[in-house]
Structure 1
Amino acid sequence: MNLPNFLTSLRFVLIPVYIFVFMNGHMIPAFLIMVAAGVTDVLDGYIARRSGQVTAVGMMLDPLADKLMMITVIVSLLVSGHISWAAAAAMFLRDLGMIAGSFYYHFRGKKTVPSNWAGKLTTVLLYSAIMLIFFETPYAHSYLWLVIGFSFVTSIMYIVMFKAINKTITETPAPPGHH
């Protein structure tokens, strides 16, 4: 197992650790575990690309580890009353839509759009919103809703890019003499 895949595996291990710490009322240590998972995500991708250690297993497990950690965090905040059902539902709806869209395009043999600056910014904003919630700061929930709105805007951007990148693939020139 290479280092990037080890770091991805570590994120899976951090999920039950996060749950245990959070459920025992230790908000700040739980938040730090979530941040550690985020750091391993950044590191594994950077190391894999930089050292040529990108693997099919890593490409599959990395986003799964990310989504499972974020789902765990969202559910824990929901169950503990730190976020509303509506906010959790909006976040899940957006993620399910993105996953369904990716599967749709992938299994139809179409190209998918790699993560870009808008997706990365959405992730950073979401982590910052969650941080504000963990630290129970004023306006944390309003900020979370702004981030949720921005995440839907970035989803629309991805949909437009999915369609554009695949339009050139599906278009075939008309036979000569046909207009």
Structure 2
Amino acid sequence: MNIPNILTTIRFLLVPVFVYFFFSDLENSYFISAIIFIFAGVTDVLDGYIARKCNMITKWGKLLDPLADKLMQLTVIFCLTYRGLVPLWAIYIILTKEILMVLGSILLYRDEIVVSATWYGKAATVLFYLAILAIILLDTSDMQSTFLIGIAVGSGVFAFVRYSLNFKQIKFSHKHNFNMANRSEKNK
């Protein structure tokens, strides 16, 4: 297991730690949980940077890195919704998007196609992190929280639409290439 994969594993382990501190009776529980969330984000950036810089990209990392991110993000949004800090509609949209993204990734991975993150996916993640941190750390009103999470969800939906179009193109191209290879084999 290389360093980026270890960082991804740490991110998986931070999920229950976040939940524990978020719901704890400690005086600074929200602040501590925000620090854990930030640390998870830093490990995400680091594992991607190290993997690319040191040529440590693995299929395992390409598959589990986004899964660790999604698990952390969904956990945080569930916790915030449970505490009434984020509207319920946000979790339905985010959960639906993430389930569809995972299913699409599985379909592509089954054909041995692994799609890397794009700038719009990364931008949506950054906006999500900023919105969540603002909601946790600042004393935002319901309207401000709804606005912040609306921007984050909107950017996530935009990224999903772009990924969906990319998915359709990749599947069509893969199927076309597969059919062409089969025709070549038959003509031999």
TM-score range, shorter chain: 0.7 to 0.9
Change (3 A) 1:153 1:57: closer
1:136, 1:62 → 2: CA distance?
Answer: 31
2:81, 2:14 → 1: CA distance?
Answer: 19
Pairwise CA distance, 1:5: 2.0
Q: TM-score, normalised by structure 1?
A: 0.85
Gaps of 5+ in 2: 184-188
Pairwise CA distance, 1:165: 3.0
Correspondence 1:3-152 to 2 at 5 A: 3-25=3-25, 26-107=29-110, 109=111, 111=113, 113-134=115-136, 135-138=138-141, 139-152=144-157
SS, match of residue 161 in structure 1: helix
1:120-139 Cα shifts (integer Å, max 9, x gaps): 00001111111121123341
1:108-151 Cα shifts (integer Å, max 9, x gaps): x2745421111000001111111121123341211211321222
Q: TM-score, normalised by structure 2?
A: 0.81
2:175, 2:130 → 1: CA distance?
Answer: 40
Gaps of 5+ in 1: none
Does the 8 A contact of 2:124 with 2:159 survive in 1? Answer: yes
- Residue in structure 2 matched with residue 159 of structure 1 by the alignment: 164
Correspondence 1:159-178 to 2 at 5 A: 159-171=164-176
SS, match of residue 115 in structure 1: coil
Does the 8 A contact of 1:111 with 1:162 survive in 2? Answer: no
Q: Give the total of aligned pairs.
A: 173
2:108, 2:10 → 1: CA distance?
Answer: 30
Does the 8 A contact of 1:129 with 1:143 survive in 2? Answer: yes
Deviates more, 1:21-30 or 1:131-140: 131-140
Pairwise CA distance, 1:103: 2.0
